Chain A
Amino acid sequence: MRRFHYLAPRRLDEALSLLTPDAVPLAGGTDLFLRMERRQTQPDAVVDLKRIPDMDRIEPSDGGLRIGALAPMESLAASSLIVNGYRALAESARVVGSIQTRNRATIGGNLANASPAADTATPLLALGATAEAGRVDGSRELPLEQLFLGPGRTALESGELLTAVRIPAMPGRTGSSFQRCVRTAMDIAVVNCAAFVKLDEDGAVEDARIALGAVGPTPLRALSAESCLQGRRFDADAAAEAAECAAHDARPIDDVRASADYRKDMVRVLTRRAVENAFQRARGEA
């Protein structure tokens, strides 16, 4: 590993001023450490964010939730706020890597690494999350869709840091679900999928969001699957049609984990399961 300066600021503004183009932020390190070991990233300075108080906080905010970028997966999976209100997110955090990894890997790192297969990205897209980007002279919020530009590439500008994720309030008659297909428990998702539905008083879909992972250069919304559900009540046909639409929305490639065809098939299966499960939850049945 190439030598570097290790910096451990205790305040966010200090950290932001240290994030020069030759510096990288360090959260859980489960990805960064390896990239540095392999000399894929060779920063002059590493800015460890873990000494900054409260950057790992999960707290109610504007009726919804604000999750500090440093919150580790295990805290997300154990948070009653997330488990009770945003189940798809809790379900995704619970299956990331091993307990060792979940104790270190953070939500901010999972998103800022911009892996197309990032497990927390799909539920956050389905739940309508926004990313909070801080910089020395202020901060901005952007819809999560706009954060991801391609594998490993985000819309964060030089000197900007992902400081938190915000998820809107979840009113009644809403439900969400996360589904994933892996080769082995510790592997990266072959496909992952999250669904969110909001039902009206008659049980018809008022709002639906479906997100897919590992089937395109970024985690993506399955927009035609979403509009296919609009206004409909749940039945087997609705779920099957949404699943078919999602398979069209997916743009997978062949790689070492799976073929594009297999991924499309899995998008069908996972979307059907996620939609069905989200409906059940919106009706208070699961």
Chain B
Amino acid sequence: MTAEPIRITVTVNGESFREEVPATRSLLDFLRDDLGLTGTKEGCSEGECGACAVILDGRLVDACLIFAAEADGRSVETVEGLADGEELHPLQRTFAAAGAAQCGYCTPGMLMACKSLLDRNPSPTREEVTHGIAGNLCRCTGYGTIIQAVMEAAKES
């Protein structure tokens, strides 16, 4: 069968992109391969690990389980959009200060999950942080420093 490419317009970190994609393309591959935004990582590709977490129209999602076509006309925030020029996002600063990244592979998704959490709940309890990052696996830190970093960032704002 023939399946025509689909023309989509997606706003990523405030910038509008018009691209042609095959229907099978995931939002994750669209971000990484078509737009070259490789901050968002591919982990399990099954929606279990959260390495590919991005914010789609204000909601945290796993980009590996979404067709790029589904994002047509929508707005995506990725880790590349967190810092304001040279000015790091508060979470990026507290992650660095707390040593919340070791190998760093989970960090982009983790940052987006934490940003999404603080957007919804600016002063979460420790338990709420744990709950908010339950879909993001980190095999290095044991989560302690990540939770600490989120609590610090919440205190700052």
Chain A residues with CB under 8 Å of chain B are 1-6, 8, 26, 29-30, 33-34, 37, 44, 46, 48, 50, 74, 97-101, 103-104, 185-186
Contact = CB atoms under 8 A, between A and B. Distances in A.
A101 B47 contact: yes
A283 to B, nearest CB: 29
A103 B62 CA distance: 10
Contacts of A6: 3, 6, 23, 67, 69
Contact of A3 (B3, B26, B116, B132): B3
Interface string B113-148: 100110000000000000010111000000000000
A247 to B, nearest CB: 30
Q: Chain B, interface size: which category?
A: 20 to 34
Interface of B: 1-4, 6, 22-24, 26, 45-48, 50, 53, 59-62, 65-67, 69-70, 72, 113, 116-117, 132, 134-136
Nearest to A29: B65
Contact of A29 (B2, B24, B50, B66): B66
Contacts, number: 83
Given A3-B3, A6-B23, A34-B65, A98 B50 contact: yes
Contacts of B22: 3
Given A5-B23, A29-B70, A33-B65, 19 more contacts: A1-B24, A3-B2, A3-B23, A4-B24, A5-B4, A29-B67, A30-B65, A33-B67, A50-B70, A98-B50, A98-B134, A98-B136, A99-B134, A99-B135, A100-B50, A100-B53, A100-B61, A100-B113, A103-B61
Contacts of A50: 70
